[in-house]
Amino acid sequence: MKSFAEYEVLAAAAHGHMCAGQILGLRLAVLGCRLLGIADPAGADRKRLVTYVEIDRCATDAIPVVTGCRMGKRALKFRDFGKVAATFCDLESGRAVRVIARESSKQKAREMYPEIADKNQQQMRAYRDMADEDLFAHQWVRVRVEPQDLPGFKGPRVVCAECGEGINFKREVVREDGSTLCRACAGERYYEVLPSFEPE
């Protein structure tokens, strides 16, 4: 693993700025890897890890900097629970650990560095220095990573009977009448199709 200072430089570049969330995300990922005994997550051990993140905020961007797990490699999964937490799954041993940022860490940062007025600066400083136990809680968990969710899964690509769009990774829905639909046509659409128009 790299030094924390090196990770900070990489995180700032990936995220666009340095912030308390980057420090928190880096520390969270370092702890997750350490608990699993994964020494070189982005190198020699890069095929061992799948990470589930639970929020789309600053800290999440820092996690792949340490783990090497990226969404485009199918090794980073997003479950939108709105929590600063992530679960690290070791595919080799089958072990998984969920690491959660403690609610008390902001208060602790105020107590550690009351002289720093700027909240972000105060938290950055404190999150660098705080003990793991003060920043995080963790729990050992079991995650059933389905074969179609694993990096490298090869499976048939099917076509939606309604919209004709291709569907990968077994994300299709088979109805009682046997027809195969995409999740959008099956009722999970997050968008509404508008009548086509030409912008002026």
Which spans of this chain sit near Zn ion (rule: CB under 5 A)?
19, 21, 58, 160, 162-163, 182, 185
Q: Which is nearer to Zn ion, 66 or 89 (CB)?
A: 66
Least distance in Å: CB of 58 to Zn ion? 3
Q: Which two tokens stand for residue 69?
A: 């797990």
Vertex 56: Cα angle to 54 and 8 (nearest 5): 100
Tell me if 26 sits within 8 A of 8, measured CB to CB: yes
Whole-angstrom Cα distance, residue 56 to residue 34? 23
Least distance in Å: CB of 51 to Zn ion? 19
Least distance in Å: CB of 130 to Zn ion? 18
Q: Which of 100, 93, 183 has the alpha carbon at shortest distance from 143?
A: 93
Q: Which of 37, 24, 54, 48 has the alpha carbon at shortest distance from 128?
A: 24
Least distance in Å: CB of 153 to Zn ion? 21
Q: Which is nearer to Zn ion, 58 or 97 (CB)?
A: 58
Length of the chain: 200
Q: Which two tokens stand for residue 180?
A: 């195969």
Q: Which is nearer to Zn ion, 162 or 188 (CB)?
A: 162
